[in-house]
Amino acid sequence: MSDLAITSLLILSLFLILGSGVWIGLTLSGVAWIGMQLMSSRPAGDAMAVTIWGSSSSWTLTALPLFVWMGEILFRTRLSQDMFKGLAPWMQALPGRLLHTNVVGCAIFAAVSGSSAATCATIGKMTLPELQKRGYPNDMVIGTLAGSGTLGLLIPPSIIMIVYGVAADVSIAKLFIAGVIPGILLALLFSGYIALWALRHPDQIPPRDPPLSFGAKLRESSSLIPVVLLIIAVLGSIYSGVATATEAAAVGVLGSLVLSAAQGSMSWVIFRDSLMGATRLYCMIALILAGAAFLTLSMGYIGLPRHLAEWISSLGLTPFALMLALMGFFIVLGCFLDGISMVVLTMGVLMPTVLHAGIDPIWFGIFIVLVVEMAQITPPVGFNLFVLQGMTGRELPYLARVSLPMFFLMIGAVLLIWFVPSLVTWLPAQMRL
């Protein structure tokens, strides 16, 4: 059976099962089962059981529910309200005003979680209710959150960078440092888009709050101190080497509990509701991740990612054409696989071609992270879209449509680092690692 026929069958199966109303995680498992049953000699039931158990019992995955719980605590107590109270005076002068809190919040939390799904879920729990309550348009609120949530992969520490560093035999520390400037650049692109949109649609932005003096702004911003202390605690525990990302997530939960209790906004009801809310949201994400893991295994047995990668390698393209081809390849592959799976399944085949073309492996690592970010908001298997679907109840086509401008901005970021590669390579070159 040809690769085209296999791909067509899987796409058709995916849309048919999704259209029947089956949960997304079960849909991914169903498509994987079809692939295993029809195109592999390994028993599909045995493979599904082993894979789903293995993906669900991963210690690394423990950080995700903890960060989600941290977001639930921030959402249900005064801490999230205080963050908006502290940011609001400074954002009022910017075109788009508080829409920028999606970008700023995701950029800050990205330096804590290393996960796109956790960043999107945590910041969304804080920003979605506040921005909608203040009258900001849903399209921009949800779209900018979907795009900004992908910063969790680019701003270090990043799980995907660790996977790439191991697969490509590249310094993970240099990859982390290389992601700083592109991460800030992408956040600025998102904020720039918000500003331009707001200037073109001033009637859709809520009225500005009464102006405050500089001293009054500082007093309002004092409410940010608890959130800043929490960020310092989590980041400090990671960068000082005291804690891993999972342990830092536990520090974040403990810190948010202590701070909310100190503010007098924590109660047994809020504690229970935050824990149950985090459990429900994580169960949704975990089911999707388990289904994606089984789909990854199925496609690995079929050999589709390897065949496609080998075909691209055989074309003999120029470096720029190779970059464009790989960007398209990973965007298409992201319709079926999560980012980690894409890197693991393709790097062994692609790295010799990339090195032969004279492309810096550190630069290529950041390029991979950016194109994987695009896949996070690309249907039908865009994990940020799934997270937002669970949080907002909106359909995937709507979420994909409002996220489309962020997708194009990421393409712009890829082109920018291609034509100005020092944006990626300069900072690692200054460090002796």
**Residue 324: other Cβ atoms inside 10 A:** 16
Torsion from C-alpha of 293, 298, 303, 308, nearest 10 degrees: -60
Distance between CA atoms of 126 and 190, rounded to whole angstroms? 19
The pair of three-digit structure tokens given for residue 312, joined into one six-digit string: 């691209």
Distance between CA atoms of 114 and 34, rounded to whole angstroms? 32
Domain residue spans of the chain: 22-58+284-430, 60-267
Among 96, 184, 211, smallest CA distance to 366 is for 184
What's the angle, vertex CA 226, arms to CA 115 and CA 143, rounded to 5?
Answer: 40
Measured distance between the N- and C-terminal CA atoms of the chain, rounded to whole angstroms: 48
Long-range contacts of 226-230 (CB under 8 A, 24+ apart): 226/79, 226/82, 226/259, 226/262, 226/263, 227/74, 227/79, 227/82, 227/83, 227/86, 229/255, 229/259, 230/79, 230/255, 230/256, 230/259
Distance between CA atoms of 88 and 92, rounded to whole angstroms? 6
Contacts with 254 (C-beta within 8 Å, 6 or more apart), sequence order: none
Distance between CA atoms of 1 and 299, rounded to whole angstroms? 14
Distance between CA atoms of 328 and 301, rounded to whole angstroms? 23
Q: What is the pLDDT of residue 429?
A: 82
Q: What is the pLDDT of residue 433?
A: 47
Distance between CA atoms of 433 and 430, rounded to whole angstroms? 9
Question: Would the pTM of this model clear 0.85, i.e. be above it?
Answer: no
**Tens digit of each residue's pLDDT, the chain (433 residues):** 565 576 667 767 776 776 676 777 787 788 888 877 777 777 777 778 888 787 777 666 677 788 778 877 876 777 666 666 677 777 777 887 888 888 888 887 777 666 777 778 778 877 888 788 888 888 898 999 988 888 888 887 677 887 788 777 787 778 888 888 999 999 999 999 999 999 998 888 887 767 777 777 777 777 777 777 887 787 677 667 677 767 877 888 898 888 888 878 788 888 998 899 888 877 877 777 777 778 777 777 777 666 666 676 677 778 888 888 888 888 887 776 667 767 766 776 677 778 777 888 999 999 999 988 888 787 766 778 878 888 888 888 888 889 899 999 999 999 999 999 999 988 888 765 4
To the nearest 5 percent, what fractions of the chain are helix, strand and coil? 80, 0, 20
The pair of three-digit structure tokens given for residue 150, joined into one six-digit string: 């992908």
Contact 249, 61 (CB under 8 A): no
